[in-house]
Amino acid sequence: MNYEKPFLPAEWHEQGAVQLTWPHAGTDWRSILKDVFRCYLDIAKEISMRERLIIVTPDPLRVRQQLGTALPAKSLLHIMFCKAHINDTWARDHGFITLLAPNGPHLLDFKFNGWGEKFPAKFDNCICRKIAAQNILKGQYKNHLNFVLEGGSIESDGKGTILTTSKCLLAPHRNQPMTQAQIEKRLLATLHAERILWLDHGYLAGDDTDSHIDTLARFCPDDTIAYVQCLDPNDEHYAELRRMEAQLQEFRTMEDKPYRLIPLPMAQAAFDKDGNRLPATYANFLIINGAVLMPTYGNPATDLQAKEQLRKAFPMHDIVGIDCRPLITQHGSLHCCTMQFPKETLKG
């Protein structure tokens, strides 16, 4: 397919592959490795049924053996491996951000610094270069390592609009001393976008990312935004999420029409062993070919409600629940641990 100019496709653009960076005992998952392995296995199974899967790991042979006993042979044929050292497993934030362009895909490699230097990221910041060196994808490698940008901090509608949060992109240790206007100018030029919608409200307790947009509000087809809604005045998120909701209601499409808004329920509060709230969110879903993989959190009522709401946004997709309770113990969820690649990036 030919394109007139470069653009950042929406997540529902036909995909060629999804990246997972695989957990192992040398990561923060060591204490719950069996639980998180089951979660990653469920994700890998659903993806590999529908498209290619790229697994980044320092030990491809061991992971291949693990998968070989758990996945059908047909799914195994869809899996590719990239050997690389890793700090952690959040592929959304250390993976390529891919543009489609008249001269082929552009694989944008931004700097990942552990969400504002909160966590070690030396190895994760090299993963894109490892993928490029191992010739796994088709496209032009573009070095943007002088600018911090995480994939979970931006959403694209595929039509020139980027949705993001000011709390993240203006957070300390990202791109200071750049101002919001300077950051916006850089993003518009680099992503070949026409405008940016900045959400100034909304957060989740326990979130390490400074309010990534993929925890709060997500673009869906047909000028739709699915977002987290809080209806409980006693919940600590109530005031901020109501302000976020009001701002979403004010946003307009390129055609100056209001967005179709689909509220997702607030996930039941979950806590770690020290009583700290964990960032469970139904907004952290992954769109793949023919399906939406939706995080579930062990509460049948809210899990079902979220599934029904997402079905309104994706009536032609299967809505598949994945138990992500292990993932939120490390303050992320399903979308955070994945990164999709458009079909144009796959060889053959």
- pLDDT digits 0-9 by tens, 193-217: 999 999 999 999 999 999 999 999 9
Nearest to 76 by CA among 65, 89, 91: 65
Output the CA torsion sign for 4, 10, 14, 19: positive
Question: If one looks up domain 15-345 in CATH, what number appears?
Answer: 3.75.10.10
Please tell me whether the peptide bond between 265 and the residue prior to it is cis, using omega within 30 degrees of 0: no
pTM, to two decimals: 0.97
Question: What ranges do the domains of the chain cover?
Answer: 15-345
- Above 90 in pLDDT, residue 69? no
Q: What is the model's pLDDT at position 2?
A: 65
Q: What is the model's pLDDT at position 347?
A: 84
CA triplet 323, 325, 330: central angle to 5 degrees?
Answer: 135
C-alpha 3: how far from chain center: 25
Report d(CA 67, CA 236) in Å as an integer. 41
Residues 6+ apart with CB under 8 A from 146: 111
Q: What is the model's pLDDT at position 348?
A: 67
Q: How many CB atoms lie within 10 A of CB 168?
A: 25
